């Protein structure tokens, strides 16, 4: 069964899907005239400084919606995923992760815009939106919305819950020898206290945790780069050069072709920032926003922060310390790089704590995604309390269990989410363009 699921995962996340994902980003980039570049600074201002639009409809602020989406996105892919890409594709894989992130910003923009435009108010008076709603009300293809929601619910329990809880427990056990049972109990209690309060509670905790964990991890990486400053110039040469030429075998590194660099860089980039999967659009729909474009601008900074900032820190540390030549991969490679770059055990501590925080925040963010998808399927929020209880129980199960089959199955469902979502983005690209043109035109007239 596990071999079958791994084969299916390889097919779902294979070249056709990656071409569809990146191709959609390129298509939207062209139609939006490179909006992610021309509007990046205003977007960062809206997201990090202005933070909210007073009097606008919605459940949470721009900043809280961004932090909730980042909570779900910044996870093991930023630590283990980057390392896997470099271990298999060489330093050039980081360059292709950047390309994926830059075009993915346009995809994330389109998802958020449609999520706000087609959102509804549910029976509890809360906003509900995301791909399932714009597929039904915008594209007029409810069956695609149902498919997306089913894939999301299944993926949420696996890759959004048990896999993340297991990552936290494993990281703390390996570094601090904390028994997984105790970690599981703490995770279950901590998760329950947050998600039982709904989106306002999740957003509040995410807004507190996410900035701290990102700054903590970035500072650790910058200290490593400062200590190993002699390797920084060569690091950039490796990244650019190996993106277009084969990487020779060095040390424990077996060598890699340009196609390997592209394949693993794109695959791990998409896995990390989730642009095109449609998941973050669910959080965007809850934001207080007067116009769909304002939240869309905020949401696209999520991909920038995740891939261009956080993933780059991991990649820079791995390459500048020379750890990429060791033959290690995954989280072990990142741990080795930080340990090489910092004296004592500090490197291992930073990676373990960072991995635990990243995984726990992902668990919180995905709980909201799964709940909203379930609400769409049943047309009611009456099952929400039961969903949250099951979510808490499974977080404990995930912490103490071996999850190879769960990981493989949920990975398939996670990739399958992209298919209906990308169809919706391409089909509704005209709406995305017209809403953007309307907003930018009115902003210019307003001065």
Q: Is the pLDDT confidence value at 447 over 60? A: no
The phi and psi torsions of 181 (rounded to 5 degrees) equal: -60, -45
From the list 363, 415, 326, 309, the residue with the least C-alpha distance to 83 is: 326
Distance between CA 257 and CA 239 in Å, rounded?
A: 13
Give the pLDDT score at 149. 97
DSSP of 233-276? HHHHHHHHHHHHSPBPPBTTB--B-HHHHHHHHHHHHHHHH-TT
Whether the per-residue pLDDT at 249 is higher than 90: the answer is no
Of 143-147, 182-186, 248-252, 404-408, minimum mean pLDDT range: 404-408
Residue 120: what pLDDT? 95
> 315 near 97, Cβ under 8 Å?
yes
pTM: 0.94
* Average pLDDT estimate for 139-153: 97
pLDDT tens for 56-65 read 888 999 999 9
pLDDT tens figures, 205-216: 999 999 999 999
178 pLDDT more than 80: yes
* Residue in the block written with tokens 């105790």: 182
Tokens 């995905």 -> residue: 366
The answer on pLDDT for 2 being more than 80 is: no
- How many angstroms separate the Cα of 29 from the Cα of each of 110, 143, 429, 444? 10, 28, 11, 21
Section 191-201 average pLDDT:
92
Instruction: Tell me the percentage of the chain whose pLDDT exceeds 90.
Output: 68
φ/ψ of residue 41, rounded to 5: -65, -45
**What average pLDDT does this structure show over 137-153?**
97
Task: Provide the pLDDT for residue 21.
Answer: 92
Assess contact for 413 and 11: CB atoms under 8 A.
no
Q: What integer pLDDT is reported at residue 216 of this predicted model?
A: 95
Could you tell me which residues are beta bridge partners of residue 253?
Answer: 250
| Cross-strand bridge partners of residue 282 | none
Pick from 169, 174, 172, 175: which is nearest to 345 by CA? 175
pLDDT digits (tens, 9 = 90+) for 279-337: 999 999 999 998 999 999 999 999 999 999 999 999 999 999 999 999 888 888 999 99
More confident residue, 368 or 445: 368
């Amino acid at each position: 069964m596990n071999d079958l699921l791994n084969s299916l995962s390889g097919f779902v996340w294979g070249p056709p899907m990656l071409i569809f994902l990146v191709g959609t980003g390129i298509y939207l980039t062209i139609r939006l005239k490179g909006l992610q570049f021309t509007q990046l600074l205003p977007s960062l201002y809206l997201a990090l400084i202005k933070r909210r639009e007073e009097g606008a409809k919605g459940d949470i602020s721009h900043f809280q919606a961004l932090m909730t989406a980042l909570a779900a996105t910044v996870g093991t892919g930023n630590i283990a995923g980057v390392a896997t890409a470099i271990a298999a594709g060489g330093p050039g894989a980081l360059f292709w992760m950047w390309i994926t992130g830059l075009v993915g910003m346009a995809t994330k923009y389109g998802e958020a815009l449609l999520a706000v435009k087609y959102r509804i108010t549910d029976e509890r008076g809360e906003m509900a939106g995301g791909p399932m709603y714009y597929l039904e009300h915008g594209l007029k293809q409810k069956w695609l919305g149902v498919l997306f929601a089913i894939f999301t619910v299944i993926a949420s329990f696996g890759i959004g819950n048990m896999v993340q809880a297991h990552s936290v427990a494993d990281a703390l056990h390996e570094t601090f020898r904390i028994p997984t049972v105790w970690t599981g109990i703490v995770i279950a209690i901590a998760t329950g206290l947050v998600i039982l309060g709904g989106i306002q509670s999740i957003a509040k905790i995410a807004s507190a945790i996410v900035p701290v964990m990102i700054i903590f991890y970035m500072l650790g990486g910058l200290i490593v780069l400062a200590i190993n400053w002699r390797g920084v110039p060569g690091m950039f040469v490796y990244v650019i050069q190996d993106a277009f030429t084969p990487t020779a075998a060095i040390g424990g590194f077996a060598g890699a072709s340009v196609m390997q660099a592209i394949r693993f860089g794109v695959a791990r980039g998409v896995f990390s920032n989730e642009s095109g999967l449609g998941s973050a659009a669910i959080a965007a729909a809850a934001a207080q926003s007067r116009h769909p474009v304002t939240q869309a601008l905020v949401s696209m900074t999520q991909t920038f922060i995740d891939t261009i900032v956080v993933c780059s820190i991991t990649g820079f540390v791995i390459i500048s310390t020379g750890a990429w030549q060791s033959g290690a991969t995954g989280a072990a490679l990142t741990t080795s790089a930080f340990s090489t770059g910092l004296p004592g055990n500090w490197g291992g501590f930073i990676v373990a704590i960072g991995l635990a925080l990243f995984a726990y925040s992902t668990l919180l963010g995905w709980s909201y995604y799964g709940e909203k998808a379930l609400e769409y399927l049943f047309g009611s929020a009456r099952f929400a309390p039961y969903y949250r209880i099951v979510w808490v129980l499974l977080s404990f199960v995930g912490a103490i269990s071996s999850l190879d089959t769960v990981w493989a199955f949920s990975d398939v469902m996670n990739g399958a989410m992209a298919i209906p979502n990308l169809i919706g983005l391409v089909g509704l690209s005209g709406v995305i363009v017209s809403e953007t043109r309307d907003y930018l035109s009115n902003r210019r007239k307003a001065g």
